[in-house]
Structure 1
Amino acid sequence: MQTQNITYLSLGTNQGDKAKNLQNAINQIDKKVGNVLQISSIYKTASWGFNSDDFYNICIKAVTKLDAYKLLETLLIIEKDLGRQQKTKEEYEDRIIDIDILLFNNDVILSKDLIIPHAKMLARRFVMIPLAEIAPSIIHPIAKEQITNSAKKCNDNSEIQSIDIKLLQPVSISDKYNYIAIEGNIGAGKTSLTKKLSEDFNAKIILERFAENAFLPKFYNDKERFAFPLEMSFLADRYQQLTDDLGQFDLFKSFIISDYYIFKSLIFAQVTLQKDEYLLLRKIFNIMYKEITKPDLYIYLYQNTERLLENIKTRGRSYEQRITSSYLKKIQEGYQGFIKTEENLKILLIDVSEKDFIKKNEDYHYIVDKIKCF
């Protein structure tokens, strides 16, 4: 499990729409670094070290899994993406955005490429005033005193003025949802996405226990004989797992995310069972369904059949290698029917046929943005 690091950053700008520049930087930090937890007021100050337009400055608190050096690298990329030009001289100069690492946990780093705490922070009011606003009791790891006391002792006499412009804190997935269910056809990547989201957003995870089902390999060898016991055993196990796990609140997790929803029992049963068997299972399902907590968001990952078959082959489960495209298409049709007719769930459909959200960060962030903005 990756460590969650707390960092405090200073942001400044004196070009163009300065409030917009700060908001854009906040949004990018939340997207590429980690959740932005706090944002100070905006403070206007005269340019520091050279004559130019006034600066807007803020400090923010963020949580990240990046180490300090990767954080620095990522912030430099964000600056460049937002339009900051490479310095043409050694002196201070105008900038559309400037992002500095002030503090990183309680670490002290003194290297050629990175100094933490920031070497000049204690001497700058435009840093210490907004930092004291959001982190008054934090101890400076070298000065060994609270930030609020260090701010009072700052010898910088520059005039600083609070601006009545409110910046928006990006909404976290955990702020919007208590329970998310991720669904998709066989091989769509729902478990991989569930695990990744759980790690990044501190969620309690519920994974389907398909590997423990003794009927599954038997079903793929003899579908007619083992379809009903397979679907009944899955239904019973899904009901038991969801009832137990959704009923147990975890104080150390922000929300719950699962890689299945119990309704998949009906979707698969429609494809695999005879009519009378399906009607029997449906009666039992209806009784159970009343007792199951419904997700705040139901996500369906759509993959085309060709990609599904590729993924199934790649992950190499022997009992899945006989799965046919026609079987996958029937499952897909079942999900499509459910999505079109279900009126009691918030359903987000995401086409990931051309996405590789495990290997490509931009594809993963595309999905995260879809969830946040839905």
Structure 2
Amino acid sequence: MRPAQVFLGLGSNRRRYHHINLGLRALHDRFASATAPMHVTRVFESEAVGFAGHDFLNTVVALQTTLSITELAQACKAIEKGHGHLSSAAKYSPRTLDIDVLMYNDEVCSAPVQLPRAEIIHNAFVLWPLAELAPEKRHPVDGRKLIDIWRNYRGEQRLQPIEFEFENLPYLVTPTMNKEA
């Protein structure tokens, strides 16, 4: 089976720096290798969406996997659970670690997860880092390049890149802070 190109969104608003690094390490340990490194965007700070709460830290990773969409979603949920995320938590509530499958190749489906994830177009905390990581990739439904969707984004969400010290992992490709989408 040929590996799928996958984009995952990570977010946390509880012990944010700690949980983002733990999430990246868990994904790295599960999916990254010398022949298939994991790429990560800058980390962004954004206001909570859908509820009043502490600001979130968000990032997007790109990786390759031979897992099916169902297996990948289950692996992400297991990592979340291992870091204190309760599956019974309300959709709009504080998070220790949230990992969402954003894109899986160019798949379009509604189950086992919605692909591509709707937040790509509607939430800056997903779109900006995704456009930074894969600017030339086309949205599987919309058809536009991610960078073009970002350049035309008109949302009002407060979002800014922050300084973040990534753990030094052997197969993790991290960004430079000077990159602008």
Equivalent position amino acid for 1:10 in 2: G
Structure 2 counterpart of 1:147, one-letter code? L
Conservation of the 8 A alpha-carbon contact between 1:34 and 1:65: no
The match for 1:54 is: 55
User: Higher relative contact order at CA 8 Å, sep ≥6: structure 1 or structure 2?
Assistant: 2
Could you say what the CA RMSD is over the residues aligned between the two structures, in angstroms? 1.7
1:231-264 Cα distance to aligned partner (Å, 9 max, x none): xxxxxxxxxxxxxxxxxxxxxxxxxxxxxxxxxx
The CA distance in 2 between the partners of 1:170 and 1:136, in whole Å, is: 25
CA distance in 1, matches of 2:87, 2:41: 27
Q: For structure 1, which runs of at least 5 residues remain unmatched after alignment?
A: 173-374
Task: For 1:169 and 1:139, locate their aligned partners in 2 and report how far apart those are by CA, in whole Å.
Answer: 31
Q: Structure 2 stretches of 5 or more lacking a match? A: 172-181
Query: What's 2:43 paired with?
Result: 42
Give 1:315-330 correspondences, 5 Å limit. none
Q: Distance in 2 between matches of 1:41 and 1:120?
A: 18
Large movers: runs of 4+ above 4 Å: none
Whether the 8 Å contact between 1:33 and 1:74 is mirrored in structure 2 is no
Q: Provide the residue aligned with 1:124 in structure 2.
A: 123
Tell me how far apart the structure 2 counterparts of residues 143 and 62 of structure 1 sit (CA, whole Å): 22
Q: Which residue of 2 aligns with 1:64?
A: 65
Decide which moves more: 147-156 or 20-29. Answer: 147-156
Q: Is 1:110–2:110 an aligned residue pair?
A: yes
Aligned to 2:179: none
Is 2:119–2:126's contact at 8 Å kept on the other side of the alignment? no
Opposite residue 55 of structure 1, the aligned amino acid is F
Counterpart residue identity of residue 75, structure 1: C
Q: Map Cα deviations across residues 190-217 of structure 1 (whole Å, 9 max, x no partner).
A: xxxxxxxxxxxxxxxxxxxxxxxxxxxx
1:27 and 2:31 equivalent? no
1:131-280, aligned counterparts within 5 Å? 131-168=130-167, 170-172=169-171
What is the deviation of 1:108? 1.3
Q: Which has the larger radius of gyration?
A: 1
Residues 148-188 of structure 1 show CA distances to partners (whole Å, capped at 9, x for unaligned) of 1111223321111111113236313xxxxxxxxxxxxxxxx
SS at match of 2:2: coil
**Is contact 2:43–2:162 with CA below 8 Å preserved after alignment?**
yes
Give the letter aligned to residue 10 of structure 2.
L
Give 2:96's aligned residue. Answer: 96
**TM-aligned CA deviation for residue 3 of structure 1:** 1.8
Matching residue's letter, 2:39? Q
Q: How many pairs were matched up?
A: 169
SS at match of 1:161: strand
TM value normalised by structure 1: 0.43
TM-score, normalising length: structure 2: 0.87
Tell me the distance in 2 between the aligned counterparts of 1:61 and 1:137.
14
3-state DSSP of counterpart to 2:78 = helix
User: What letter matches 2:82 in structure 1?
Assistant: D
Percent identity over paired residues:
23
- TM-fit CA distance, 1:60: 0.7
Partner secondary structure for residue 116 of structure 1: coil
* Residues 39, 169 of structure 1: 8 Å contact kept: no
